[in-house]
């Protein structure tokens, strides 16, 4: 991931202001250690810190159209850039960068081109012909982006809070799936697929369509000119990503450059569940596997750095970000610059264990919609910033636009968790990748139940964090917590400890407002308690709070035989294949 910073419509075009913009842009250098650039036109500054993934030799930014009247600074990957170049036959491209199409698309179509982009992105575009500008963020918010406003009327846009929080009177997260235009001085939603209004879909479940959609999502993310690998925890989602990548790697440009054997990476405390599961999957797939071990003390020592980079005080996000932050540094030290990861599956398919309590398909679907819309505040934020802290890019095929449309069109009846029928969480995804002739994964791995990431790296990790926090936060401090932190008051010593660090690093009121409200697990806990009153007794947000639905109730067995298993895969459920 790259780092972008734009200052637009400021009242100062002096050399001192340019120096200040450069200074703030350097705060984002961890995101793009390969090169930096800045463009100034009157009262506008566009700065860029580059992580070179496509066309490392000539793709430096900012990027321009033919006569340099349109300037753009981009953080992201445009997977369909070659197709878009073919549409732009009358345009001349200066570089081979995937992001080079953006300025030309604007020149051809105006502000309405954003939905043509297939990828993950945040960008700011300046049209020097009329001094107008626009900014946009990808559909789900895989890339991070913030917008702020200065007292002098300026608009600031940055990949991270640290690029603008010292200069803006007010700032906030840039909403995913939106663009901001100086012409309207406001936001416009460009991403509005059928599932977004939460109407309950009725498309029959077609295992083959789902399989092909996900394979395509993974394959398009193998576009790279640098060494890459996969994050492999041994759970369903990362294992499927690794299996598909391993299967399709041989014929790619990347394989010719860096070798056809996939590299996989896992992190955990010594003896953790993830390390064991990931090793089993890696052995099955034949990947070059790298295990990284950390201690509880290693993680605790990194907490302040994690909060600085991830820019949150959310408890679950910090718990999961810390191992990922430590692993990313190790991965980058091996010369790898891009990894594929499994975020998003649990939100799309209702993979969190409290979905067992969903009373009907309508409730189930509405909750998946809500979870996907909130991803940019949690898992996307973690995956993007914990890796970008070390100049590593994370790509997330489950959040591919086309795949989401396919998966969210399935009648949620088929996503419902019904153990008596052999349907555990994410059954539709597991079933789609059953292939007796050429297995993607062994069945016991395909049907392995979910571990919360912060638990999977080692159960003593969370206990160690709680013990450490209790040594630094007293009972008396908790009594007065509501007076010290009236907004999003911490409900645990662990939450109080993270909040103290965050407030020291980002003391502005706008900063604390960018973090989701209430206890870190509030929304999910409230929904789970609504579905089952017993859930309200569990205050801890880890997967251990999953009452009666974890392995103890499944007894770690494969699901019982289901009638659908007797149907050929191509004929299963969907009558159009009969």
Q: The domain that contains 157 carries what CATH number?
A: 3.60.20.10
pLDDT band at 539 (very low <50, low <70, confident <90, very high): low
Q: Which of 2, 99, 168, 380 is catalytic?
A: 2
- Indicate if 444 and 340 belong to the same structural domain: yes
pLDDT for res 526: 74
Domain that holds residue 113: 3-192
| Of 170, 192, 214, the domain-final residue | 192
Summarize the confidence of residues 245-268 as an average pLDDT.
Answer: 85
> Does the reported pTM lie above 0.85?
yes
What is the predicted pLDDT for the residue at 564?
Answer: 47
pLDDT of residue 558: 46
Give CA–CA dist 249/262, Å, rounded. Answer: 7
Q: Does 279 fall in a domain?
A: yes
- Return the pLDDT at 321: 97
Mean pLDDT of 502-507: 98
Q: Measured between alpha carbons, how far is 273 from 346 in angstroms, rounded to an integer?
A: 19
Looking at the fold, whether 302 and 212 belong to one and the same domain comes out as yes
Report the number of secondary-structure helices (H) and strands (E) in the chain: 23, 17
- Say if CB 247 and CB 211 are below 8 A apart: no
Whether residue 185 sits in one domain with residue 307: no
The CATH number assigned to the domain holding 301 equals 3.40.50.620
- Quick check: is 2 catalytic? yes
Residues 277 and 323 in one domain: yes
Interval 294-310 mean pLDDT: 97
Give per-residue pLDDT as tens, 383-427: 999 999 999 999 999 999 999 999 999 999 999 999 888 899 999
pLDDT given for residue 548 in this prediction: 55
**How many domains, in total, are found in the chain?**
2
Cα gap 179→111, rounded to integer Å? 9
Q: Which of 162, 192, 222 is the last residue of a domain?
A: 192
455 and 332 inside one domain: yes
**Residues 175, 227: one domain?**
no
173 and 270: one domain?
no
**Could you tell me the pLDDT band of residue 9, with boundaries at 50, 70 and 90?**
very high
In a domain, 574, yes or no: no
pLDDT exceeds 90 at position 250: no
Using CB atoms within 10 Å of the CB of residue 400, give its burial: 0 to 12 exposed, 13 to 18 middle, 19+ buried: buried
Average pLDDT estimate for 74-97: 92
Q: Using the predicted structure, report yes or no on whether residue 540 has a pLDDT greater than 80.
A: no
Same domain, 187 and 206: no
As a whole number, mean pLDDT of residues 19-25 equals 96
* Domain co-membership, 163 together with 256: no
Q: What is the pLDDT of residue 542?
A: 57
Q: Please give the distance of CA 119 from its chain centroid, rounded to a whole number.
A: 12
Residue 458 has pLDDT above 80, yes or no: no
């Amino acid at each position: 991931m790259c780092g972008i910073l734009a200052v637009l419509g400021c009242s100062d075009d002096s050399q001192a202001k340019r120096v200040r913009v450069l200074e703030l842009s350097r705060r984002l250098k961890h995101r793009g250690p390969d090169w930096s650039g800045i463009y100034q036109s009157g009262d506008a500054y566009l700065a860029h810190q580059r992580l070179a993934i496509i066309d490392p030799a000539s793709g430096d930014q900012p990027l321009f159209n033919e006569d340099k009247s349109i300037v753009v600074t981009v953080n992201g990957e445009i997977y369909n850039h070659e197709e878009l170049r073919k549409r732009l036959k009358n345009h001349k491209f200066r570089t081979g960068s995937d992001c080079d199409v953006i300025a030309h698309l604007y020149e051809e179509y105006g502000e309405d081109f954003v939905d043509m982009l297939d990828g993950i992105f945040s960008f700011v575009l300046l049209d020097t012909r009329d001094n107008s500008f626009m900014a946009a963020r990808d559909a789900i918010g895989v890339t991070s982006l913030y917008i702020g406003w200065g007292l002098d009327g300026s608009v600031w846009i940055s990949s991270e809070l640290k690029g603008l929080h010292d200069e803006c009177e007010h700032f906030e997260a840039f909403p995913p799936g939106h663009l901001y235009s100086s012409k309207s001085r406001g936001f416009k939603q460009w991403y509005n697929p059928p599932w977004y209004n939460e109407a309950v879909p009725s498309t029959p479940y077609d295992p083959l369509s789902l399989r092909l959609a996900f394979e395509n999502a993974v394959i398009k993310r193998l576009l790279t000119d640098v060494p890459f690998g996969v994050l492999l925890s041994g759970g369903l989602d990362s294992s499927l990503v690794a299996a598909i990548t391993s299967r399709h790697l041989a014929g790619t440009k990347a394989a010719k450059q860096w070798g056809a054997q996939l590299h996989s990476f896992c992190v955990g405390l010594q003896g953790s569940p993830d390390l064991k599961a990931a090793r089993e999957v890696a052995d099955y797939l034949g990947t070059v596997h790298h295990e990284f071990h950390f201690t509880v003390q290693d993680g605790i020592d990194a907490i302040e750095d994690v909060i600085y980079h991830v820019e949150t005080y959310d408890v679950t996000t910090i718990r999961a970000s810390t191992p990922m932050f430590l692993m990313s540094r190790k991965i980058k030290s091996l010369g790898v610059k891009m990894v594929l990861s499994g975020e998003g599956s649990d939100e799309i398919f209702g993979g969190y264990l409290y979905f067992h309590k969903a009373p009907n398909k309508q409730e189930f679907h509405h909750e998946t919609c809500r979870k996907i819309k909130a991803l940019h505040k949690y898992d996307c934020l973690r995956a993007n910033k914990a890796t970008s802290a070390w100049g590593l890019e994370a790509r997330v095929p489950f959040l591919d636009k086309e795949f989401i449309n396919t998966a969210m069109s399935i009648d949620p009846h088929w996503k419902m968790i019904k153990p008596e029928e052999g349907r555990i969480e994410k059954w539709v995804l597991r079933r789609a990748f059953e292939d007796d002739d050429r297995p993607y994964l062994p069945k016991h791995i395909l049907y392995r139940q979910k571990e919360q990431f912060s638990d999977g790296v080692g159960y003593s990790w969370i206990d160690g964090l709680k013990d450490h926090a209790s040594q630094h936060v007293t009972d008396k401090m908790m009594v007065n917590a509501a007076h010290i932190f009236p907004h999003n008051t911490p409900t645990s010593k662990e939450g109080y400890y993270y909040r103290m660090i965050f407030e020291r690093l980002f003391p502005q009121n706008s900063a604390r407002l960018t973090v989701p409200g209430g206890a870190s697990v509030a929304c999910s806990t409230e929904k789970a308690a609504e579905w089952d009153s017993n859930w309200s007794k569990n205050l801890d947000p880890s997967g251990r709070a999953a009452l009666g639905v974890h392995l103890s109730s499944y007894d770690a067995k494969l699901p019982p035989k289901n009638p659908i298993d007797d149907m050929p895969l191509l004929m299963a459920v969907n009558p159009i294949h009969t």
